[in-house]
Structure formats: C-alpha cells, structure tokens
Structure 1
Amino acid sequence: MMLVTSFGTVVGMLVLSVVWLALMQMLLRYTFVTSLPWVEDVSILLLLMATWLGSALLWMTRGHIAVTVLTDRLSTRTQAILQHTADVAVIFGGMGLAFSAQTAMGAFSGIEMGSLPFDSSVKYVPIMAGGGLLASAGCINLLCKDEII
C-alpha cells in the first residue's frame, strides 16, 4: 500500500508542477511580455514522467479503464487466466518498450534540446523507466495474487 501511495503522490506532484509552470508562463507572457524559454521542454519531460509512472501505477492497482461487457460473462477462473495473460503481455511489452527507448536514446544523443543544456535523448529516459516500471507492475500483479502493495 505504501508503494501505491508513494507513486500516486509523485504523479500528482508532477502534474501539479506542469500546471504551475503553465500558469507561471502565462502570467509572465501576458503580464510582463516576456517568457522563459525552458518551460515547454521541462513541461514535456514532467508530463512524460507523470504518464509513465501513472501507467505503471494504474496497471499495478488494476485501476485502468476496462470494458467488461464480455469478461463479465466468463467464469472467474477464465477471468483470472485472462488477467494473468495480460500481465505476462505487459511484462514483455514493458521490456520491449524499455529496449526500444534505449535504442532511441542512442539515436538522439548529441542532438541538443533548444532551451536546456541536455541532449534530446533525455526525453526517452522516462519512456525507458516507464517500460521497466510497467514490466515490474506486471510481475507484482502475477506474484501478489490480487493484493495491492
């Protein structure tokens, strides 16, 4: 339960940071006729982090949107088998996502971001971490048998 609460808190703080940056940028732009050049790039990074942390959190808690029109008609055993199959698919999909993001990081290394002193490969770090977290969430769901951490 502590892991879920921590993830939720971090995701909430990331989203609030994006909102704060957008409001700050709007205030600067329309009140003082100036802006900060790095706000958009930082907002993109924060949104990427929030998205991938949130997707792992939702998978781990089984809080994602699900259409249950067909699965409600199945037996409990068949539903459990489908859920375990989906967890295995998420494990392999997450590992594939992490690997492909690592490949993309190599392709974008050396290309500078417009307003930050990092190269563009930094945008793929949250995606790589999100793939690893999704795979971990699938493993947790398989091992914990419907217990929320």
Structure 2
Amino acid sequence: MTESRTGAGVTGLRRVFRKTLEAIVVLLVVALALVVVLGVGFRKAGAALVWYDEAASILLAWLTYYGAALVALTRGHIGVPVLVERMRGRARSAVLLVGEAAVIGFFLTLAWAGLQVQAALAGTALVSMPAVPAALAQSVIPIGAALFVVAQLLSLPGALRGGSGEPGEGGGAVP
C-alpha cells in the first residue's frame, strides 16, 4: 500500500472515529441536561428523584472521558506544544515520541486499573438504581482510556508532520 493510500485510510478512520465520538458526546450532553432539568423540576415540585444525583454524576464522568478522547484526537491537551513547536528534526520527533509513549503508557495503565475496578465491582449494583450494575457505570474507565489511546495514535502522524493532528495541518490530507 502506498503512503498516500495509507494516509487516506488513517484520515478516513479519524473522520469516522471523530464523528462517532462527537455523536456520543452530544448524546451524553443531552442526557445530562435532561436528567438535570428533571431533577430540578421534580425537586421544586417536592418530589425529588431518588436516582437523580447518582445518574447525573455518572453521566458527567462519562461525558468527561468521551470528551477527553475527542479532544485528544485534535491533540488539544496533555502536551507542551510551545516546546515541541520550537524544536526541529530528530530532536522534535524524539521529544514528541517520548511524550506520546508517556501519555499512552499512562492511559494503558488507567485501562488496566479500570478493568481491575470492573472485576472488583462484579455482582454489585448502584445504590439508587439497583437494577443497574455498578460495573456498567464504571465501564467508562477502561473504555475511555482505550478511546484516548486510539485518538492519540490516530493523531500521531499529523503531529509528526508538524500539525495538531488535524487533517490539513502540517501536511495532513484534507478530508
């Protein structure tokens, strides 16, 4: 496969990944807003929802993890861009790759820890929603960490070319 075809494949995969994450983030924002409005409305009416606080907390955590993966796709955080942008050649690539290895290593460790949490929570349920397994609520830890790693890897080629990882920057293909 030629380099341009490989680059086009990565760009297409990035686009699908970005659109999927955007859809999930929008759904989570809408769900969180709905839960908050319902919670406030019922509380004002004197009939507070028992599950409101726990559901809102879980949705906020999910929004944070999925949103972080979306931002990682554009290399919007976890980095020192000024330092890397001022470097050239092999030094720049080396610093970028060492930083990338550290970030990916951290998130792989987080995914592993999340799986340990899953195992520890097996058979337990949420306090205010006993029909919902606690492991389901905490599944965002390993899933979010894995999504972050995928986002970092998909944006790495653009970063190595000198851009933010977004297509069209630093020599990346325009979608």
| TM-score by shorter chain over 0.5 | yes
- Where in structure 2 are there 5+ consecutive unaligned residues? 1-14, 168-174
- Give the distance between the partners of 2:156 and 2:109, measured in 1 at CA: 18
CA RMSD in angstroms comes to 2.5
User: With CA pairs under 8 Å and 6+ residues apart, which has the higher RCO, 1 or 2?
Assistant: 1
Matched, 1:133 2:133: no
- Where in structure 1 are there 5+ consecutive unaligned residues? none
1:90 to 103, 112, 126: 103
- Give the distance between the partners of 1:65 and 1:106, measured in 2 at CA: 29
Matched, 1:124 2:120: no
Does the CA-based 8 Å contact 1:102-1:124 persist in structure 2? Answer: no
- The verdict on how the C-alpha distance between 1:143 and 1:113 changes in structure 2, with shifts beyond 3 A counting, is same
Q: 1:44 is aligned with what amino acid?
A: S
Q: CA deviation at 1:67?
A: 5.1
Q: Deviations over 1:78-112 (max 9, x none)?
A: 33432332222222222211111111111122333
Does the CA-based 8 Å contact 1:91-1:136 persist in structure 2? Answer: no
Matched, 1:111 2:120: no
Q: Where do 1:1-149 residues align within 5 Å? A: 1-30=15-44, 32-64=45-77, 68-75=81-88, 77-116=90-129, 117-143=131-157, 146-148=165-167
> TM-score, normalized by length of structure 2?
0.71
- Give the distance between the partners of 1:85 and 1:118, measured in 2 at CA: 41
SS in 2 for 1:36: coil
